[in-house]
Every structure is written in structure tokens, then in C-alpha cells.
């Protein structure tokens, strides 16, 4: 291959190489949800959340296996899967949206960036628009951490809470997310 052809080929693929540089992902993100009532507090944790962020376009997605949420007590976990989330029928929770407030250049520069995320959350088979505020932190070593907090109402996603236990579960559930993103 002549030098000219080599250079031409390299230049042709350069945009793709650059695009690949701007994608960040994790396979072990953490989502926790917390329900606080006078009757009891309930917390579920999932440490196997996958997420991909395209820093150029701002497109962001995450997915979580419902059965990977862990609770302190067996009964809580069984009720969560069998009665509320019906995880045999709806095994995954997903989000697709757009992140604003931090671009490709920010994710390579140490600092703390307040961000907003707007998109669609699919839970229990029901998709609803969702907006959340968060923070992206880039440390001196280049590690990228994204955190966010948002609230979900079970009824918005057709999650039926029986009347006998309604007071045991908060009307609005607090969800926190922590993602340690690495460049793809």
C-alpha cells in the first residue's frame, strides 16, 4: 500500500475513531431506591446497572435487571419481584434520554459539572417522561463519576400497591444513581 493510500485510509476512519473516543460506559453502575414511611423503611440496591453515554451528542441510556435489586429481607425481595414489579413479565428497567451540561471536552477536564437529564423511563412495562438533575465529576486522574437523584411514583408505572400495605410504601420513591464511567 502506498503512503498516500495509507494516509487516505487513516483519514477516512478518523471520524469513527474520534466518535468512539467520546463514548463512556459502565457495566457495574449502582441504583438504589429508598421508600421511607412511619411504618418502615425499604431500600433496594442494584450494583449491575449498565449505562452508555455519548459525550458528543449527550445521548445517555441505562438498563437494570429488576431481579438484580437486592433487599435486606427475603420477604421484601419476593414482594418486590412477584407482587409489585412482576419481574417475570417485565425483567428490565430502562432509560433513554439526553444529558446536557457536560460535553466531550468537559469529560476530559478535571472538574465538577452540574447536568440535567431528560428522557423516557420504562418501568413495569410503562414508559413515562422523566427529568433528573445530577453531577458529573472528573478527577485529576481522569476518572468520570456521574451521580443523580430522582423520584418515581409507583402508580405512574401501573405498579399496584395493595391497600393493606399502602402505608408501608412511600407515595414517591427516591432513586439515586452512581455510575463510574470509563471510555469505550
Give the footprint of other proteins on residues 133-172 (CB under 8 A). Answer: none
Binder among 21, 56, 59, 68 for other proteins (CB under 8 A): 68
Is 96 an interacting residue with respect to other proteins (CB under 8 A)?
A: no
Is 17 an interacting residue with respect to other proteins (CB under 8 A)?
A: no
Binder among 57, 92, 127, 174 for other proteins (CB under 8 A): 92
The residue among 77 and 122 lying less far from other proteins, judged by its C-beta, is: 77
Q: Contact region for other proteins (CB under 8 A) — 85-93, 107-115, 134-142, 158-166?
A: 85-93
* Backbone angles phi and psi of 147, in degrees to 5: -130, 150
Residues 30-59 as x/- pattern, contact with other proteins by CB under 8 A: x----------------xx-x---------
Q: Residue 60: enclosing H or E segment and its boundaries?
A: strand 59-65
Q: Contact region for other proteins (CB under 8 A) — 23-31, 123-131, 134-142, 153-161?
A: 23-31
Whole-angstrom Cα distance, residue 144 to residue 124? 30
User: What would the grid cell of residue 170 be?
Assistant: 412511600
What is the DSSP track for 41-54? EEEEEEEEEEEEEE
71-75 contact pairs (CB < 8 A, 24+):
71/42, 71/43, 71/44, 71/45, 72/43
Report whether 72 contacts 43 (CB < 8 A): yes
Q: Which residues bind other proteins (CB under 8 A)?
A: 27-28, 30, 47-48, 50, 63-65, 67-68, 70-71, 73-75, 77, 88, 91-92
Amino acid at each position: 500500500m502506498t503512503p498516500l493510500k495509507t494516509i487516505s485510509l487513516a483519514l477516512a476512519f478518523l471520524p469513527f475513531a474520534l466518535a468512539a473516543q467520546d463514548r463512556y460506559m459502565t457495566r457495574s453502575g449502582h441504583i438504589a431506591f429508598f421508600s421511607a414511611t412511619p411504618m418502615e423503611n425499604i431500600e433496594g440496591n442494584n450494583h449491575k446497572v449498565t449505562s452508555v453515554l455519548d459525550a458528543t451528542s449527550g445521548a445517555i441510556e441505562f438498563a437494570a435487571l429488576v431481579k438484580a435489586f437486592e433487599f435486606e429481607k427475603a420477604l421484601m425481595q419476593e414482594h418486590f419481584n412477584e407482587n409489585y414489579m412482576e419481574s417475570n413479565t417485565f425483567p428490565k428497567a430502562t432509560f433513554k434520554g439526553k444529558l446536557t451540561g457536560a460535553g466531550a471536552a468537559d469529560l476530559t477536564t478535571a472538574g465538577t459539572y452540574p447536568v440535567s437529564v431528560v428522557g423516557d423511563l420504562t418501568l413495569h412495562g410503562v414508559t413515562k417522561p422523566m427529568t433528573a438533575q445530577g453531577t458529573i465529576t472528573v478527577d485529576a486522574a481522569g476518572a468520570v463519576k456521574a451521580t443523580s437523584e430522582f423520584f418515581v411514583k409507583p402508580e405512574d408505572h401501573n405498579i399496584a400497591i395493595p391497600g393493606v400495605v399502602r402505608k408501608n410504601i412511600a407515595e414517591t420513591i427516591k432513586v439515586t444513581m452512581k455510575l463510574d464511567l470509563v471510555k469505550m
